[in-house]
């Protein structure tokens, strides 16, 4: 794995008087290898294939650490489980979610970003972050 991400996690963990355990490192590794919007349960299944002793609670706690240290973004598409994706060194994007098969499409449109800024500034509002989730049917489910 990239040592940069491990360094970010270790810095965060040290600042918060926590310990970088072998298990947390294993969860970080599995997360970094996973190029999708993964839920805690999915990541748990991946991690335990390599190390069956890691518990679901450890996966949850490590994902929380990854989110707080900004290595991961937490996503909630309203289907009852949170998902996580890489955040560190990744550019901003929004999501389209198929309500039939659960497919998640990432997109970024400069005009959407620009118009959001325009709407905000017209309201004297400064955007610090935003999420745009579009729900509907994908081309296969339509």
- Contacts to Zn ion by CB under 5 A: 85, 98, 100-101, 103, 106, 138, 141
Closest CB to Zn ion among 57 and 141?
Answer: 141
Q: How far is the CB of 10 from Zn ion (least distance, A)?
A: 25
End-to-end CA distance of the chain: 39
Instruction: Identify which of residues 57 and 112 has a Cβ nearer to Zn ion in the complex.
Output: 112
Give whichever of 24 and 83 is closer to Zn ion, judged by the CB atom. Answer: 83
């Amino acid at each position: 794995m990239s040592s940069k991400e491990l360094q970010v996690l270790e810095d965060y963990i040290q600042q918060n008087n926590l310990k970088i355990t072998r298990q947390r490192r294993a969860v970080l590794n599995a997360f970094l290898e996973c190029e999708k919007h993964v839920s805690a349960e999915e990541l748990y299944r991946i991690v335990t294939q390599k190390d069956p002793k890691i518990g679901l609670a450890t996966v949850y706690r490590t994902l929380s650490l990854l989110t707080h240290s900004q290595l991961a973004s937490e996503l909630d598409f309203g289907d009852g489980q949170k998902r996580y994706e890489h955040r560190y060194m990744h550019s901003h994007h929004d999501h389209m979610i198929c309500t039939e098969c659960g497919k998640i499409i990432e997109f970024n449109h400069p005009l959407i970003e620009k118009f959001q800024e325009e709407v905000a500034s017209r309201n004297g509002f400064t955007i610090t972050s935003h999420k745009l989730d579009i729900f509907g049917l994908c081309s296969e489910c339509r």
